[in-house]
Amino acid sequence: MEFVLKAHMPGLVARVVVEVGEKVEKNQELAVINCMKTEMSCLSPEAGVIKEILVAEWDEMDIGSDMIILEG
């Protein structure tokens, strides 16, 4: 089963802290979005393996933009 991490606020991707193939736990930080000098962690919706990273540093996000795909 696949899970998609979506941006929960608009802003710029400050950093991606995982790599493709990495095993992650539920609620583990996967990326960070920066909006008006406020950083907000983007947490894994489920435990799984990172299948694909759709964003890079400084990419602009809208609410609901797909960021990372996990294989559960």
- Report the alpha-carbon distance of residue 44 to residue 34 in Å, rounded: 17
Q: What is the mean pLDDT of residues 4-16?
A: 96
Q: Name the percent of the chain lying above pLDDT 90.
A: 97
Predicted confidence (pLDDT) at residue 21 exceeds the cutoff of 90: yes
pTM reported for the whole predicted model? 0.92
pLDDT at 8 over 90: yes
- Report the pLDDT averaged over residues 43-54: 97
From residue 69, give the alpha-carbon distance in Å to each of 18, 21, 27, 36. Answer: 12, 11, 14, 26
Task: Give CA separation, 6 vs 17, 36, in Å.
Answer: 15, 19
Could you tell me what percent of the chain has a pLDDT over 70?
100
- Residue ranges of domains in the chain, CATH in brackets: 2-71 (2.40.50.100)
Kindly provide the b/e burial profile for residues 35-48, where b requires at least 16 CB atoms within 10 angstroms of the residue's own CB: eeeeeeebebbeeb
Round the average pLDDT of the chain to a whole number and report it. 96
